[in-house]
Chain A
Amino acid sequence: MRRLFCIVIFAIIVLVFPFRICAQQGSNFVFSQVKYDGRWDPRPASFGEIIHFLSSTTSIKPELRRKDITLKDKELFNTGFLYIAGTDEFKPFTDKERENLRLYIEGGGILLIDDCLGRKNYGFDKAIRKEIREIFPEKELEKVPRSHVIYRSYYLLRAVGGRKIVNPYLESIDVDGRTAVIYSQNDLAGAWARDRLGNWLYECIPGGEVQRLDAIKLMVNIIMYSLTGTYKTDTIHEPFIRRKLGR
């Protein structure tokens, strides 16, 4: 009887005051990843690396837990950054999921798409491009110009990285004058993945460790961009950046 009473009290605490046991979020950076009907988490070992790297090299205070959310989940609108990755073709999103994703992007959220397979018009790339066309039929993914703030939001980047280089560029869609959808086909997360002993899980081809470092820097820049927007385009930064780039 006493045991039953304890269970009931615990259930009440969990159900009625869920916020008490949730981690603090506030305006902290939360790495949110989309769960969908398919192989949605091909690089599970990368997340911890990204969070650790962010907190040790930047002032970003990331939440230590990744938030895995479906596109049906209203939690979608509690994050400003959404990551979707995959290797395989997946079951098309429902209309509701597409609508939610569109509202999320139009509402100010950033979507980073990472093709971890890295094959054009095949598997994940084929499926996700179709979904993007469905969500934004009037828009197309376009190459991100090298002058874009993404390449200077924290690191000054001269090249894009990844586990492999399928496209030596990023692609993006702008919504209301803001780059809101960023697509890397180079398996960004793959370059971050380590095993439990700290060894890199995947070799970066063809550029090796330089290419890996570019991938790490690019991921940081994209996250930084999702938190600071066009901050690095402000006039005050211009002379410094120009000097550093040797222009």
Chain B
Amino acid sequence: MNLSNINFQPIQWWILLLFVLSASVVMMVYFKHSKGYKKIPLLFRLFLFLCILFIIFQPAKNIRQKLVDKPALAVLIDTSGSMGAKDPVLRLDSVKKLVNENSEFIRNLRKTYSIYPFIFSTSIEHSSIEDISQIKLPQGQATDIGLALKQVSRELEGKHLSGIVVVTDGIHNGQWDPLGAARGLNIPVVSIGVGNREQFKDLTINEVKVSDFVFTNTPVKVEVAVTGKGYRNQDVSVILKQGAKVIKTKKVKIPAEELIKTNFEFIPQDTGNFTYTVSIPHYKGEFSTENNSKSFNLEVLREKIRVLYICGEPSWEYKFLREVLKNNPNIELVSFIILRNPENISIVNERELSLIPFPTHEIFMKEIFEFDLLIFENFSYAKFFPRSYLENIKKFVVDKGKAFIMLGGDNSFGRGGYRNTPIDEILPVRLTAGQEKMIPGKFRLKIINTSHPIVNLGDSLKETRDLWNSMPQLDTSNKILSAKPTAITLGVHPWIKENGEDIPVLVVWGKGKGRVMVLGSNSTWRWSMGLSGAGKTNFLYNLFWKRAIRWLIKAPEVKLVNVTTDKKEYIKGEKIKVIVRVFDEYYKPLANARVDLEAINPVGKKIDLANKVIETQAGKYEVEFTSDLIGKYRFNAAVYKSGRFLAKESSFCDVAIPDVELARLWLNEDLLKQIADITKGKYFHIEDIKKDTQILPKTALSQATMTSKQKSLWDSVYLYFIILFLLAAEWYIRRKSGML
């Protein structure tokens, strides 16, 4: 027996010392007090101690034997975004050419090894050679070679792992140090580099900066940063496109530092959500075209809200509201005030008056549809134009989706002769037969629907109520008797009632495609003055009118259905959260609505999400799903309540691969060589692997094909019988010789 093949269990030295000392003392005492044949039991006891010592050391024999099974070989394939680079061949295609069921490389490996294929980017994932050959586009958001090495060695523990083959471009941007991970392995790593080995030349759109939303007919500035590695002093074209349409092209000279910033300015004409792309064409010798473009989304809003304000006589209401409208850069105001009525006399020649003709035909028959909002304040039409012109105002609201406000006064509503006219049809209040009365005196508007965006001026409904309770009083209102059935009454007169019902003062509704607001008083200017008198700013007065206009023109923030995603851009594989907020006509969150939500993925496939929508809180409906493709996802929501269709809205988001994968695209052979050196493996470029290439070093293979196991020498039933025999023999001798 070769003693070098025997292992002993290491034990604490003091236990051994204690045992030897105890045994020696016992033996010495026995030896001193025993004479002649009586020393025989002492012999048995000595053997017994030796047996116990044998058990304490737990000796085992090493037995090495050749494996019957093939050794394991892990094959790690990088499927991060950078593997989608074309330089000039798509990197993943090179890999698929090497790693497929029919390739010589795989067939040769299978002769010697049991292959365990994995794909990796930010972590490893079990795969198969067949699955790898099916991957169309690598979409991993980052590359962590260090983590992949660690995970694969742990995953295949106990499977006689003989080595790891890692096929990658070496663009490591993960957290784990790949060299540190390599040092922790006791098996060789064969790294196979994928990518162009020539001198690196690449043009990259590094950064695009632009506002999230812009206005039509207003210049938009797009800041672009371009890196031109290997293109110093060369002119490069940078192109801005909206969809496929080229908006602008610029030539930039790449400076010595190889980074240049440039700007584009353009004026969007149409409203809506658009995708723009900044790109550089493919230049000769360029390493990759993958990073030559960057897209961004832009929400183009209407540049100005066009307001037409017709005022029946000079008034402070006009003057104050004019200031609100004029001070808003997003509003373009055109106004006409009737400064002189036909019955007024003139003491001077017409040429000494600044009066201009009221171009009613041009305004109401031609220009009206160019406006977004029409305001009538204390204006009676009959003196100025025929009733037929009012048809266009109805069309303006009902068909064209525009907005109309009628403010109170002596010449408004029924007093202005609007009963049974097209205006009567679009107003949310009933006009009484004859002239309605005026209610003189000051009053504080009583708000009865605080949640509506027009009057919800506070951060909370309680604050809104408090604000309205402390608002200055209005003065004089038209006695509008009732609101029409589907109208929303926001404010009423605080004490005047008709048939026990509050007299409406502030009423709104949607009529056809448009919206209408009625305010039965033209004294809201008192809010501004009154707030000032109380030492406050006129912020609330401005806010009321701003909110009213935004609601009337259906600004995005006051829609009844609002579809958003928790982020505008996602990384592929990330969960997209779609949030649909639904409000009733009073802008209270609408619970128990049916939200039919569908997603349209970047390749145009519809994904029905309706069954997955969960109402997380009243009026808030959410759904989560995983983004599995790169590109634009669109979400369409149709909302129903009790079977009645409410509204339909859309939103979109982008799914992209992270910039970190595109920031540095060239093959990192240095890193792959270092990993191979540390693990005593080998490095190959993918193009250098031939049919007869020996992948793993021979020593590694021979080590991997042998296995060793230990046979315990002490854990034997015979040893226990020997111990039993020694104890029994000693006892028998002692009994026979009278030593007990």
Contacts and interface: CB of A to CB of B under 8 A. Distances in A.
Interface string A16-30: 000110111111110
A217 B347 CA distance: 10
Given A26-B523, A57-B345, A155-B352, A107 B532 contact: yes
Contacts of A23: 440
Contact of A244 (B354, B440, B472): B354
A108 B441 CA distance: 22
Interface stretch (B226-234, B314-322, B678-686): B314-322
Which of A61, A104, A230, A237 has the most B CB atoms < 10 Å from its CB? A61
B118 to A, nearest CB: 70
A230 B323 CA distance: 9
Interface in B216-272: none
B353 A103 contact: no
A154 interface: yes
A229 B354 contact: no
Given A58-B340, A108-B538, A224-B314, A77 B323 contact: no
A237 B535 CA distance: 37
Interface string B329-355: 000011101111100111110011111
A109 B533 CA distance: 11
Using C-beta atoms within 8 Å of the partner chain, give the interface range for chain B.
Answer: 35 or more
B525 interface: yes
Nearest to A30: B316
A84 interface: no
B476 A24 contact: yes
Given A57-B344, A58-B314, A76-B533, A229 B475 contact: no
Contact of A26 (B323, B356, B521, B532): B521
Interface in A112-157: 152-156
A61 B410 contact: yes
Nearest to A228: B314
B733 interface: no
A59 to B, nearest CB: 4
Contact of A152 (B354, B472, B523): B354
A78 interface: yes
Interface string A73-115: 0101110100000000000000000001001101111000000
A227 B315 contact: yes
A185 to B, nearest CB: 24
Contact of B319 (A19, A22, A229): A229
B476 to A, nearest CB: 3
Contacts of A77: 472, 526, 529-530, 532-533
Given A27-B409, A108-B538, A228-B314, A80 B319 contact: yes
B378 interface: yes
Contact of B353 (A24, A80, A104, A154): A154
Contacts of B170: none
Contacts of A217: 348, 352
A108 B528 contact: yes
B451 interface: no
Contacts of B323: 108, 178, 229
A58 to B, nearest CB: 6
Nearest to A17: B441
A69 interface: no
Given A57-B346, A59-B344, A60-B314, A234 B339 contact: no
A29 B339 CA distance: 13
B498 to A, nearest CB: 18
Given A59-B339, A229-B323, A234-B335, A107 B440 contact: no
Contacts of A155: 348, 352-354
B545 to A, nearest CB: 14
B117 interface: no
A213 interface: yes
A199 interface: no
A229 to B, nearest CB: 5
A228 B318 contact: yes
B98 to A, nearest CB: 73
B442 interface: yes
A227 B532 contact: no
Contact of B354 (A57, A103, A241): A241
Contacts of B529: 77-78, 80, 104, 107-109
Interface in B520-568: 521-523, 525-526, 528-533, 535, 538
Contacts of B313: 59-61
Contacts of A103: 532-533, 535
A27 B533 contact: no
B326 interface: yes
B60 interface: no
B341 to A, nearest CB: 5
A95 to B, nearest CB: 14
A58 B339 contact: yes
A56 to B, nearest CB: 6
B334 A236 contact: yes
Most chain B beta-carbon neighbours within 10 Å: one of A26, A61, A76, A232: A26
Nearest to B522: A27
B52 interface: no
Contact of A232 (B346, B354, B378): B354
Contact of B322 (A29, A100, A154, A231): A231
Nearest to B322: A229
Interface in B484-525: 521-523, 525
A77 to B, nearest CB: 3
A237 B358 CA distance: 11
Nearest to A158: B352
A52 B712 CA distance: 126
A153 B356 CA distance: 12
B208 interface: no
Given A27-B476, A227-B315, 5 more contacts: A57-B344, A77-B530, A104-B529, A231-B337, A237-B354
19 contacts: A20-B441, A25-B440, A27-B525, A56-B344, A57-B347, A58-B340, A58-B344, A59-B312, A59-B340, A77-B472, A107-B533, A108-B320, A154-B339, A154-B353, A156-B351, A224-B339, A227-B318, A229-B323, A244-B352
Interface of B: 312-320, 322-323, 326, 333-335, 337-341, 344-348, 351-356, 378, 408-410, 438, 440-442, 472, 475-476, 521-523, 525-526, 528-533, 535, 538
Please list the 6 inter-chain residue pairs (A to B) with the smallest Cβ-Cβ separation, ordered nearest first: A107-B532, A19-B441, A77-B533, A26-B476, A227-B314, A80-B316
